[in-house]
Structure 1
Amino acid sequence: MPADTHAPGRSTPRPGYRSVFRTREFRPVFAAHLLSVLGVVVAEISLTVLVYRATGSPLMSALTFALGFLPYALGGTLLAGIADRHPARRVLVACDLVCAACAAAMILPGTPVAVLLALRCAMAFVAPLFQGTRNASLADILGPSDTFVLGRSLMRMVAQSAQLVGFGLGGLLLTVLAPRGAIALTAAGFLGSALLLRLGTRTRPARTRTSPLAGLRAVLGRRRLRALTLLFWLPPVFLVVPEALLAPYVDGIGAGTAVLGLLMCAMPVGTIAGELWAGSALTARTRSRIVAPFAAAGPLPLLLFAGRPGVPLLAAALLLAGLAHAYTLGLDQWYVDVVPEELRGRAMTLLSTGLMTLQGVGMALAGLAAEFLPVHAVVTGSGILGTTVVLLLLAELRAAARQEGGLKDETAPAAK
């Protein structure tokens, strides 16, 4: 564990994002992440077009997007143990090669739609294992320290940015390439990612040889670790509600699709800005201090929906909800401090699995609620419930910390 840099009377240096890139091994990991994320985005839009042209069915076209989320729960649950039972580099390269092979198979002329969808499922099935293993290996590369937190933040911002610009780039790409040609670039991207990880990172031994089921019980059976996991999982369930219902809300206030597109960008832009601010302007100690207030306040801007706001106030509410995401950097540090090293891979895999799965559940529940209640009432209710749930989880976290020892209070920094 690194020495405490918060000694009284001494200024605390802020390493900033540049310090992360000074670690030689991180650079190929970051480049591989960029290639794979862009590859997935291009594959999604290209496969959607390909399936629609083959079937003429909007339902089948939409299903290609849904299949990017649905296998997450199954893959993350069944494969989580692999993250710790095998060397991380081997797991990461194998996942990239599986995705490259699936993308390559999509390129073959005459591939039936059912096979295309099955291949998309296979790519999504291994995604949580890849993400969990990579996130766990970041702690090996950067150390379970402030630099790890900044590295995780960079990875998240790349994923958020891909949602903002990736589909636009994919659309432009399809103006000059056939869908299968664009998917060929996806296969090349995954191969490039595998090569970067194989040659740019060093091999490390497996963390554990214990039973995968025993490891899963250990992750979710520890009271403080369970509370931290839920603090990652549950707030997004409520924050996806306005995004899920934005189309009917915008239609209800008489705005057009161009406004809808701009509003869909508001929360991701806020999220990226919040992470950049927390990662570049705050010390590790301050990032820890803002976790509780920012996590609790994050859903509160959604209460503005109660007044059925127009576009400017609506954009401000979504932007503020995104900015509050700055608390995640401090929460990352709490998490890596609590997770035992031998369980880090499967814990990170479960974290990714729950995030993706529960966001899908949140969207579905929002749509169901909006069948019976006005959209603005559903979004307002999600803001109230979200803050209530966060406050309950923070109380549970404090109680667990006192019971298990270690940090005196999870809502304030303390020397270990």
Structure 2
Amino acid sequence: MHPQETAGPPRRGGYGAVFAVPEFRALFAAHLLSLLGVVVGEIALSLLVYRLTGSPLLAALTFALGFLPYAVAGTLLAGVADRYPARRVLVVCDLLCAGCAAAMVLPGVPVAGLLALRCLTALVAPVFTGTRAASLGDILGEGDLFVLGRSLIRIVSQAAQLAGFAAGGLLIAALSPRGALGVTVVTFLGSALLLRLGTRRRPARGGGAGPVLRSSLSGTGALLADRRIRALLLLFWLPPLFVVAPEALAAPYADAVGAGPAALGLLMCGMPVGAVTGELLAGAALGPRGRSRIVLPLAAVSLLPLLGFALRPSPGWALPLLALAGSGMAYTLGLDRWFVDAVPEELRGRAMTLLTAGLMTIQGLGMALAGFAAEFAPAHAVVAGAGALGTACALLAVREVRRSAPRPGESDRAQELRQG
């Protein structure tokens, strides 16, 4: 039976149809809880490490450790997403994160231990996000509801990040960093409870026999050997590699144009606000065909607004440029549908883990490269250069996606032989 028939979602369209599915509501609420916990925990841990050491480098490292393990875990542990039932994986991941956060609350834990615990939670993250993304197909089916469900997860990720920074500051002021970490423990436990009680138990997809490491590597190899999947992954990854440059350089750019802390805060909000707006407009105003039609043209031009930074705009002009660049990321709605159609069901968990792990790794790399380039060139020039180089790379990815697209009337076997 098709997953959508099992879940039984209603036939009306739009975001309302997604929220009408009880399991998705539980998954969505759990995501919101755990995401707020992650953001609050990152702020609290960074401040705690800084107070214990007085080192800005170690404080910054607590954030960097959120990116670095993604590539390792996304490659070596991806098989977990298909090997075990999704609900079990999600609940265990939340409990592991709650345990790590609880250990951070203990007063005797050294700084090295705090950083090791942060690294462990980051290793769990790609397995959790990949499993959750794959389970959306079980809950919502592989059609338009899946696309809109993925869109809502991204929207709440952007919005909760902004809210989490504000909530984190308030909690730390009221409770201290360790007290805020205690709140993080509660959010992870709440997420685990919602997932355990609010979602159905479904059998594992498979994942093959033998060690998880072998299954993960073989699954990743099979995915990357497929030309169509490679092309789609490139289109997912390349624009975000460059679009993070303004965020990475927001502080030096604001300083260069004489902007104060308030203007810096607005600049940091510009791209997330644009991303949320673009997702909502594409999800609510366009149907499945419309979202598919805009994928390639929107991906091709999404980074062009960054070229405006060549003129060293004031914050008043930079803000709409950032919002436009953020809204361009709405091309991923239609791309989600293409990706899930291209991936075999037995590899879906590993595919989603690879996708999300690659995306986080790419963003971390993009921030590092932008910072490195800014050592040799002004921040506004680096952002404009990211727009130019990113557009060129996006055009190459668009061309590869077009070339790898299934031909009308072509059999699956013929397509497989053609793509090697």
TM-score band (shorter)? over 0.9
1:243 corresponds in structure 2 to 247
Aligned counterparts of 1:231 and 1:291: Cα–Cα separation in 2:
10
1:412 corresponds in structure 2 to none
2:7 corresponds in structure 1 to none
Further displaced range: 177-186 or 130-139: 177-186
Further displaced range: 342-351 or 368-377: 368-377
Displacement of 1:377 after TM fit?
Answer: 2.0
Secondary structure of the 1:25 match is helix
Does residue 139 (structure 1) correspond to residue 143 (structure 2)? The answer is no
Alpha-carbon distance change, 260 to 406 in structure 1, aligned in 2, over 3 angstroms: farther
Task: Return the match for 1:57 from 46, 55, 58.
Answer: 55
Task: Return the match for 2:367 from 355, 363, 377.
Answer: 363
Aligned counterparts of 1:406 and 1:27: Cα–Cα separation in 2:
38
Aligned counterparts of 2:44 and 2:367: Cα–Cα separation in 1:
24
Aligned counterparts of 2:59 and 2:221: Cα–Cα separation in 1:
38
Task: Return the match for 1:230 from 207, 228, 234.
Answer: 234
> Can you list the C-alpha shifts for 1:96-126, whole angstroms capped at 9, x where unaligned?
1110110111111221111111111100111
Aligned counterparts of 2:107 and 2:316: Cα–Cα separation in 1:
47
Q: How many residues align?
A: 397
Aligned counterparts of 1:406 and 1:152: Cα–Cα separation in 2:
29
Aligned counterparts, 1:183-332, within 5 A: 183-210=181-208, 211-332=215-336
1:108 corresponds in structure 2 to 106
Secondary structure of the 1:202 match is coil
1:347 corresponds in structure 2 to 351
CA RMSD of aligned residues (A): 1.6
1:6 corresponds in structure 2 to none
> Can you list the C-alpha shifts for 1:40-73, whole angstroms capped at 9, x where unaligned?
0111111112111111222221111111111111
Aligned counterparts of 2:202 and 2:147: Cα–Cα separation in 1:
21
Aligned counterparts of 1:74 and 1:327: Cα–Cα separation in 2:
27
Aligned counterparts of 2:196 and 2:403: Cα–Cα separation in 1:
43
Question: 4+ residue stretches of structure 1 with deviation over 3 A?
Answer: 402-407
Further displaced range: 59-68 or 293-302: 59-68
Secondary structure of the 2:321 match is helix
Displacement of 1:14 after TM fit?
Answer: 6.9
Q: TM-score, normalised by structure 2?
A: 0.92
Does residue 86 (structure 1) correspond to residue 84 (structure 2)? The answer is yes
Q: TM-score, normalised by structure 1?
A: 0.92
Aligned counterparts of 2:260 and 2:272: Cα–Cα separation in 1:
20
1:377 corresponds in structure 2 to 381
2:418 corresponds in structure 1 to none
8 Å CA contact 2:305, 2:322 repeated in 1: yes
Displacement of 1:397 after TM fit?
Answer: 1.3
Displacement of 1:159 after TM fit?
Answer: 0.9
1:39 corresponds in structure 2 to 37
Alpha-carbon distance change, 307 to 259 in structure 1, aligned in 2, over 3 angstroms: same
Displacement of 1:406 after TM fit?
Answer: 6.8
Task: Return the match for 2:147 from 149, 162, 175.
Answer: 149
Task: Return the match for 1:77 from 75, 78, 81.
Answer: 75
1:337 corresponds in structure 2 to 341
Displacement of 1:144 after TM fit?
Answer: 0.4
Displacement of 1:182 after TM fit?
Answer: 1.3
> Can you list the C-alpha shifts for 1:270-318, whole angstroms capped at 9, x where unaligned?
0000001111111111011111111111100011011111122111110
Aligned counterparts of 2:207 and 2:12: Cα–Cα separation in 1:
38
Aligned counterparts of 2:185 and 2:333: Cα–Cα separation in 1:
32
Aligned counterparts of 1:331 and 1:310: Cα–Cα separation in 2:
34
Aligned counterparts, 1:4-23, within 5 A: 15-23=13-21
Q: Which 5+ residue runs of structure 2 have no aligned equivalent?
A: 3-10, 209-214, 413-420
Q: Which one-letter code corresponds to 1:358 in the other structure?
A: I
8 Å CA contact 2:90, 2:128 repeated in 1: yes
Displacement of 1:209 after TM fit?
Answer: 3.6
Secondary structure of the 2:22 match is coil
Secondary structure of the 2:203 match is coil
Q: Which one-letter code corresponds to 2:350 in the other structure?
A: R
2:124 corresponds in structure 1 to 126
Q: Which one-letter code corresponds to 2:67 in the other structure?
A: F
Further displaced range: 268-277 or 61-70: 61-70
Aligned counterparts of 2:401 and 2:12: Cα–Cα separation in 1:
27
Q: Which one-letter code corresponds to 2:124 in the other structure?
A: V
8 Å CA contact 1:128, 1:353 repeated in 2: yes
8 Å CA contact 1:14, 1:280 repeated in 2: no
Q: Which 5+ residue runs of structure 1 have no aligned equivalent?
A: 3-12, 408-416
Displacement of 1:378 after TM fit?
Answer: 1.6
Alpha-carbon distance change, 64 to 314 in structure 1, aligned in 2, over 3 angstroms: same
